[in-house]
Structure 1
Amino acid sequence: MNPFVSIRRELHQIPELGFQEFKTQAYLFNYLSTLPEGRMTIKKWETGLFVKVHGLNPTKTIGYRADIDGLPITEETDLPFCSTHEGRMHACGHDFHMSIALGVLTFIVNNPINDDLLFIFQPAEEGPGGAEPMLKSEVMQEWKPDMIIALHIAPEYPVGTIAIKEGLLFANTSELFIDLKGKGGHAAYPHKTNDMIVAACALVSQLQTVIARNVDPLDSAVITIGKITSGTVQNIIAERARLEGTIRTLSAESMVNVKKRVEAIVKGIEVGFECEANIDFGCMYHQVYNQETLTREFMNYIEKSSEMSLYECKEAMTGEDFGYMLKEIPGFMFWLGVSSDYGLHHSKLNPNENAIEQAIQFITSYLVFKDKK
C-alpha cells in the first residue's frame, strides 16, 4: 500500500472540529519529525502548522495550503478505518488534502528544488474560519509566499481529472442565524400568545423572495435555511425559534444587498408577530478567485501532461476560506477528481484512494516545472 494512503486512513480515524485539531496537529508534527533534519523549519500556529522547506537557491516562495479539520457528521461508510471520534467525520476530504500535502512535502525535502516552499496546514476551514487569522499571523507575515495554490477533492469528477477555471471559482458565503422570541402559552389559547413557530415559517417563506425579487436574474445567489429549532411539546405554543442557514452569492455586492434585504424582512416579522428578533451573520468566507495568468499557465501545463486530464468547470456556490489567502496572494485552487458515489459533507463519502498517488506525482512535477522557469 502506498504510504500516503496509509497516512490518509490514519488521519481519517481522528477527525476533529475547527481549532480542536490537537491529535491531528500532533500526528502531522510527528510525521514531519521523521524527515531529514535541516531542510525545513516547522512552526506551530494554534492547532495548525507552517512548514517552510528551504530551497537550494531561492528567488521566490511558493505556498501550498491543506486544510485539516473535520465535520460534525456521524460516519456511515462501514470502512475498516472509519472515524473513531463519535459524531465526527472527514466528510469533506481534508484527510486526502493532508496526505497529498505530506506526499508532496516529502518528495521536495528529499529532492530539493531552488525555490522555497511554504506548506500551510490550516485548521478550522469548515468553521469558524482559519485562513484569515492564519494569513494575519506573524509567521505568515515573515514567510509570506509569492504565490499560493490549494486543491479540493471533487466526488463528481473521475480520478485523473483536474477541474479548474480562471477567475471566480467559489462563491462568497455567509452563515445565517436568526433567533425569534415571542410569548408562549397553552395551545388552547393561541390568542394570548405570539407563536414563534408560525413566525419562523412565515420568515422562511419570505426569505425565498429575496432571491426571486431582489437579485439580478443575471447574477446568482442562494439562501438556504437548513435547520429550525423550536417548541417543547405538542400542546404548548412555542415562545422561541431559531433558524440556521447560509447565504451564497457570486458577487460581493450581491452579498451586501442580500443581507440588507434579510434584515428588512426580519424587522417586518418583528412588527407583524410582535416579537423580538436577532440576526447573526456568523462567519463569512470571501470568494475564491483564481488569478488568471497563473491559472492559465497551470491549465496549459495540465494539457501538456499525460498524468491528468483538464476539465474547464463553471463557478460553484461552494464556500472556501482559502479565498482570503487568494485575496492577498496570487494563486489558484482546483478540483481533484476522486470518483465517489456520495458527495461532499455526506456521511457515506468514500473517495477513491488512487487519486492520492496521482495527485502527489502531478503536483510535485508541476512544482519542479515552476522551479525551472
Structure 2
Amino acid sequence: MDRDHLIKIRRDLHRIPEIGFQEFKTQQYLLNILKQFPEDRVEVQTWKTGIFALVKGTSPKKTIGYRADIDGLPIVEETDYNFQSEHPGFMHACGHDFHMTIAIGLLSHFVLNPVQDHILFLFQPAEEGPGGAEPMLNSDVAKMWKPDLITALHISPELPVGTIATKPGLLFANTSELFIDLKGKGGHAAYPHTTNDMVVASCSLVTQLQSIVSRNVDPLDSAVITIGKITGGTVQNIIAENARLEGTIRTLSVESMNKVKERIEAIVHGVEIGYSCKAIIDYGSMYHQVYNREDLTIEFMNFISDSTNYEVNECREAMTGEDFGYMVDQIPGFMFWLGVQSSYGLHHAKLQPDETAIEVAVEAMIKYISFKANN
C-alpha cells in the first residue's frame, strides 16, 4: 500500500476509537481490509474483538509474530484534526491507530511479496485495560499458530521521526491498578465524635502509602505509587461514611511489586484498626514487565542501523505499562519505540503524531521481518 492509502487508513481508524473489548467497528474495519487479500495467501481468525491474520510462507520453518493493539482511551479529543473522533468521549490518544496502520502496511507487503516463513499478525484488543494480551495468547487460535518470535512497537511523541529506540532487557515496568474502598460511619458534621470519618481516614492513608517507596523499596530499585483520584462524602455538612482511592503501582522488578503490595495491605489493615472502618483492596488490571530478549534486541538494533538510514538509540527503561509483556514472557521477542514527534505526549487530548513516521516503521520492519523470515 502506498503512503496515501496508509494515511487514509490511519485517519479512518482515528475516527472510531473504542475501549477494550468493545472494538466492534474497529474489528470490522480491519476485517474489511483483510477480505481484499487472496484467501490462499492470508488466513484470518477472530478472537473476541481481536483478529489473527496468518500470512503464509513459501517454505515455512518458523512463524514470526507481529502485534498491534487496537483499542482507544476514554479521553475527550482536543486536536485540530478534521478527522477527529466520531465517538464522543473517546480518542486514540496512545497511538493505536498508528500501530494498526503500520501492521496493515506490513501485512499487505508480505501478502504480495511472499517470504519463506509464516508471519502472524495479532490485532489485539484491550491493551489499555482490562488487558487483552494474556487471554489472547492463551486462546486456541494462538496455541495453533503460536509464533517462534514476536515483536511490536509503540509510538514515542518525544522522539523525532526517523528514530527508533529500544534496549535489551527490561524496557517497561510491572504495573498494577489500585483501588481501595473505605467504609466507616457517617453522621452530622456537628457531632464528629459519633462517627468514623472516611475523608480523614483516606487522607491519612494516602500519606502513609507515600512512605512505602521511600522506606520499603531498595533505593537502587525503582517504584511509584500514585493515587490519582479520591472520592468521598456527599455534601459539606455530612461526615463521609465512604471513601474511594484510585491509583497505580509501577515497579522495575516483580519482587518490588510483591513487596509494595504486602506493605499496602499492612498499612490498609492498620487504617482499619486506627479509624474503626472496613477496607477492600482491588488491584484491577496487572501488567507484566516488558523484558526484551537480549540477543534478538541487539540483532534488531544492529540490523536497522546497518540496513536503513534511520537513527537507532538505546533508551532507558520506562515506568510505562504494556501488556505486550505477557507475550514476550512466553515468546522470545522485543518491543521498541518509534519516534513520531508531537508537542503533546501519550494519553494527552492534543496528541498529534507525525504521519510520516508510518512510512519509517513500515520500511524498517519490512526489511527486518524479511531478513528474519528468509534466514
TM-score by length of 2: 0.98
Q: CA deviation at 1:371?
A: 2.3
Q: Contact 1:159–1:338 (CA<8 Å) still a contact in 2?
A: yes
Aligned to 1:182: 184
Hey, which bits of structure 1, 4+ residues long, moved more than 2 A? none
Amino acid at match of 2:349: S
Aligned to 1:71: 73
Amino acid at match of 1:293: D
Amino acid at match of 1:29: L
1:278-297 matches, cutoff 5 A? 278-297=280-299
Q: CA deviation at 1:120?
A: 0.1
Range 363-372 or range 316-325, more displaced: 363-372
Aligned to 1:306: 308
Q: SS in structure 2 opposite 1:334?
A: strand
Give the root-mean-square deviation of aligned CA atoms.
0.8
Q: Which of 345, 350, 371 is residue 348 of structure 1 equivalent to?
A: 350
Q: Contact 2:117–2:374 (CA<8 Å) still a contact in 1?
A: no
Amino acid at match of 1:174: S
Q: CA deviation at 1:78?
A: 2.5
Whether 1:140 aligns to 2:150 is: no
Whether 1:163 aligns to 2:162 is: no
Aligned to 1:323: 325
Aligned to 2:43: 41
Whether 1:267 aligns to 2:269 is: yes
Find the aligned partners of 1:271 and 1:348 in 2 and give their Cα distance: 45
Find the aligned partners of 2:236 and 2:148 in 1 and give their Cα distance: 60
Q: CA deviation at 1:191?
A: 1.4
Find the aligned partners of 1:236 and 1:248 in 2 and give their Cα distance: 35
Q: SS in structure 1 opposite 2:245?
A: strand
Amino acid at match of 1:154: S
Q: Contact 2:308–2:364 (CA<8 Å) still a contact in 1?
A: no
Q: CA deviation at 1:231?
A: 1.5
Q: Contact 2:60–2:117 (CA<8 Å) still a contact in 1?
A: yes
Whether 1:11 aligns to 2:13 is: yes
Find the aligned partners of 1:298 and 1:284 in 2 and give their Cα distance: 28
Aligned to 1:151: 153
Q: Which of 198, 208, 229 is residue 227 of structure 1 equivalent to?
A: 229
Q: SS in structure 1 opposite 2:281?
A: strand
Amino acid at match of 1:167: G
Aligned to 2:360: 358
Find the aligned partners of 1:285 and 1:372 in 2 and give their Cα distance: 33
Q: Contact 2:65–2:150 (CA<8 Å) still a contact in 1?
A: yes
Q: Contact 1:307–1:362 (CA<8 Å) still a contact in 2?
A: no
Aligned to 1:211: 213
Find the aligned partners of 2:146 and 2:10 in 1 and give their Cα distance: 28
Count of matched residue positions in the alignment of Structure 1 and Structure 2: 373
1:27-38 matches, cutoff 5 A? 27-38=29-40
Find the aligned partners of 2:222 and 2:102 in 1 and give their Cα distance: 33
Q: Deviations over 1:104-145 (max 9, x none)?
A: 000000111111000000000000000000111000000000
How many percent identity over aligned positions?
A: 68
Q: Contact 2:64–2:373 (CA<8 Å) still a contact in 1?
A: no
Range 185-194 or range 153-162, more displaced: 185-194
Where structure 2 has 5 or more consecutive residues not aligned to the other structure, the ranges are none
Q: Which of 83, 86, 103 is residue 84 of structure 1 equivalent to?
A: 86
Where structure 1 has 5 or more consecutive residues not aligned to the other structure, the ranges are none
Aligned to 2:279: 277
Find the aligned partners of 1:370 and 1:144 in 2 and give their Cα distance: 16
Aligned to 2:124: 122
Q: CA deviation at 1:52?
A: 0.3
